[in-house]
Structure 1
């Protein structure tokens, strides 16, 4: 079930989930960020960004990028703890 990247520490399911969640949230945030840039470059007025779906598109990078960053930090901490435990046991 678990495979090994370097041969000694197995990759768990929670590690994959955290990695893909952080990657997905970061990509979605960057896409929304570029949608705002493209929309403002196409000549949309400021009033157009206050209506419709634009407020939600503007909020996704605001909250998504910090959440993705925290997920990556959690993944790194879990990986360091698991590697240190594996090194102590061997």
Structure 2
């Protein structure tokens, strides 16, 4: 057991991209959810035309995509740290 802490590996560009993409998808999904709630409250009854189908799709698929991006980030981060600890 080493008494010296191992240095943290540098954060790669792909890690930042995955983190910000996950955050962006979550924020977009929440925005779509709020827009549907506000439109329902305002009395919009025709959600079949315009951008509404896309808004519903983003609202449904967005959290799943964000979770998969976050899971990918965690797996790559754990693999990178494991590789760094074996090398060090």
Runs of 4+ aligned structure 1 residues displaced above 2 Å come to none
Unaligned runs of 5+ in 2: 1-6
Larger radius of gyration: 2
Query: How far did 1:53 drift?
Result: 1.1
Q: Which has the higher contact order (CA 8 A, sep 6+)?
A: 2
SS at match of 1:9: coil
- Give RMSD over aligned pairs: 1.0
- Which TM-score applies when normalising by structure 2? 0.87
- Kindly provide the CA deviation profile for residues 24-56 of structure 1, in whole angstroms up to 9, marking residues without a partner as x: 1111111001100111011222xx111111111
SS at match of 1:52: coil
- Which TM-score applies when normalising by structure 1? 0.85
